[in-house]
Amino acid sequence: MPKTTNDGASSPPDPTLSGGVDATVSAEGGGRSGRSGSSGSSALSSGAGDGSEARGSADSAGSVGEPGRRSDSGGRAIAARKKQYVIAPRQPDGLQAMSFQPLQFSALEQALRSSHDIEVVDTVGPKSVLGALADGMGGSQGVLVARMTEQKAAVLHQQGQGRLLVEQDQHLNLMEPGLRQPALVTGMMPAAAGGPVLNAVISVVGKDGAPQAEAEVSLFGSMLPASGVTDANGQVTLSLFGETPDSVRGLYVKPKADYWSFYQRDPDISTDEANVVGLRALSDWPSLAGFPRQRAYGWGQKAMRLDQLPGNYRGQGIKIAIIDSGAATTHANLRGIKAGFDVLNKKTNPDGWDQDTLGHGSHCAGVIAAADIASGIRGFAPDAEVHACKLFPGGQISQLIDALEYCIDKQIDVVNLSLGGAEVSEALEQQIVRAKRAGIACIVAAGNSGGAVQYPASSPNVLAVAAVGKLDEFPADSYHAQTLDQNVDAYGYFTAKFSCFGPQVAVCGPGVAITSCVPPNNFAAWDGTSMATPHITGLAALTLAHHPDFQTPQYKARGAERVERLFQLIRASAHRVSLGDQSRTGFGLPDVLVAVGLQTQAGQQPAQAVAPQAATLAPMMAGQPLGGSLGGNFAGLMGNLGGAPVYDPLALDMARAQFAAYGGWPPLHVGAFPLPKPYNPIMW
């Protein structure tokens, strides 16, 4: 659950925030009824001067840990640094019931900039008149990004009286599963002297013994693991403290590109000579024979029947944004990507979106829209207009809000979000709602922690995607085999161990051993809900471009109703896979031919049009805010209203309503799908 706004700090509000939100409210001339004084407002008023008295009190209280102060023993004492916060007016959806007027963005910005101890580092808002009016609200949307102490943030939040969002600008993560350590690995560090040390040289080679540079190698023992990257000779030396050859539990190798990963449980490690790992080339696998010289469909694309789609179904006229690590246009399959936005470097190099140092965004882009050329792979929608928004490495909530603002301005149709954060963000949710009202469908990875669905996939305003794998689509000695769980159906489909689960999961996508593009002009097979989500994004683009519903006036017009109809068609096109709990797969694996309207799902009625009230659902934050994280006075006020909606962070009520509307989980119908032969476990 979300933490408190000030990260759990129990210190009293800092009285040195002069002006603050009181100044903003005064500038507006009202909006609150029956407001009484409080300790927070008194503290704010007491600091309305230069703040010297308050600062003197703080100094005399003994702030030895304040940044920059010298300790008695010499040197610089360690203390908490200033943190970056996202500050935004709470939008009217959650305020009208209290007869509150939302804070005006311009007045808020002026108040914050006038405070000597708050540094406004960025302003994110509509990039044009089109963006300002995109959601039909005509309001003054935007967020401020500012640096301040936790105490300042606490005062600011309190003085907002429920009309102001003050959230720490949390860092986001790409949805690629981390390496799972073998069981019983502990975090203990043995003594530096006297304990055993295992030094092992790992040599990684490919075809014809060619050394593989920049391969990630990890050794696992009973305590801390050792990891490194191979040099130009394909070698790396790893040292495990407190281990012997007999206590090594696992060896993992992840090549940079063009080869399958490798994992060996209980490896026989030598300390006297190099330990050679011979990798298999991707093209050695039967389904990828001749790859990449000869074009191939990925197993996931074939499982969704993309290879059976008529050749003129290519996503024409649809705009797709991939908010990720960029897209390497040096890749032959990605040269058609002509537009983007480097959010990380928007002030210095906004066109740096085509530099992808991580490869993650390029991998997603390949699945979605790789060019239909003679080599490599073919994406779902090769004729769609793709925009690459670079958010990684180091992306934060405020920058994701900025990237979505770009999408609103460019009238993007579908956004791929293979990312997530540790906590729910109301400021981001407001932006997701704006995007949805502007007709933008957000397809989001459920997460790779193996736990509950992460945010923003847990939002009811997006389509959350879990990951499944399929047997016989990767070598048994690759790390992909470690993602297998016991829920394997008769056709070899299984739910991936790492995939998050919960009632918010709408559908699942192929997310194990997915081969796609990586820089500069190579291919790699990766796992993750990050890889599953682009499959559904590509399918969404095809559905918008070619399903008859979106040629009618009702759904051709951009808006939330159009987005809800798209989500409904994707869910209705899915069929059950795996034997596991359906909270791990949602309605199942979507089918391209059904989603674009060429076929009807066997045994199911066509999806009904979404009711207008469902299409214009209030955002998930419309009622009571997030517990202690964003609550304070606003939570108490909302509690007194009695009839106010309650914030549902897991969207349980919405999930139940969805399941009821669709008659529960759809049954497993295989008649319409040319499924492969049942999996023979003896061959594994």
Per DSSP, 617 falls in state P
Relative to beta strand 514-518, strand 339-342 is unpaired
Closest residue by Cα to residue 626 from 646, 643, 641:
646
Rounded to a whole number, what is the distance in angstroms from the first to the last CA of the chain?
A: 41
Cα 532 to Cα 607: distance, rounded to the nearest angstrom: 23
> Please, what's the b/e burial string for 3-30 (b: 16 or more CB within 10 A of its CB; e: otherwise)?
ebbbeeeeeebbbbbbbbbbbbbeeeee
Task: Show Cβ contacts of residue 486 under 8 Å, excluding neighbours closer than 6 positions.
Answer: none
Cα 86 to Cα 165: distance, rounded to the nearest angstrom: 8
Closest residue by Cα to residue 322 from 71, 530, 628, 40:
530
Question: What count of other Cβ atoms lies within 10 Å of the Cβ of residue 62?
Answer: 8
Active site residue 268: no
Of 530, 573, 583, 629, the active-site residue reads 530
- Bridge partners, residue 414, by sequence: 320, 441
Active site residue 247: no
Q: Is residue 632 within 8 Å of 157, Cβ to Cβ?
A: yes
Per DSSP, 289 falls in state T
Active site residue 307: no
Closest residue by Cα to residue 9 from 211, 222, 157, 217:
157
How many helices (H) and strands (E) the chain has is answered by 18, 23
CA 245 to chain CA centroid, nearest Å: 39
Q: Is residue 508 within 8 Å of 584, Cβ to Cβ?
A: yes
75: alpha, beta or left? (left if phi > 0; alpha if psi -120 to 50): left
Cα 328 to Cα 359: distance, rounded to the nearest angstrom: 8
* 372 burial type by CB count under 10 A (0-12 exposed, 13-18 middle, 19+ buried): middle
Cα 326 to Cα 520: distance, rounded to the nearest angstrom: 12
Residue 403's Cβ-side half-sphere holds a number of Cα atoms within 13 Å equal to 33
Rg of the chain in Å (alpha carbons): 27
Q: Is residue 406 within 8 Å of 346, Cβ to Cβ?
A: no
Closest residue by Cα to residue 316 from 550, 59, 525:
550
Cα 391 to Cα 400: distance, rounded to the nearest angstrom: 7
Question: What count of other Cβ atoms lies within 10 Å of the Cβ of residue 390?
Answer: 32
Q: Is residue 516 within 8 Å of 523, Cβ to Cβ?
A: yes
Of 135, 169, 324, 527, the active-site residue reads 324
Which pair of structure tokens corresponds to residue 268? 């026989």
Of 157, 331, 360, 535, the active-site residue reads 360
Cα 586 to Cα 668: distance, rounded to the nearest angstrom: 12
Q: Active-site residues: which are they?
A: 324, 360, 530
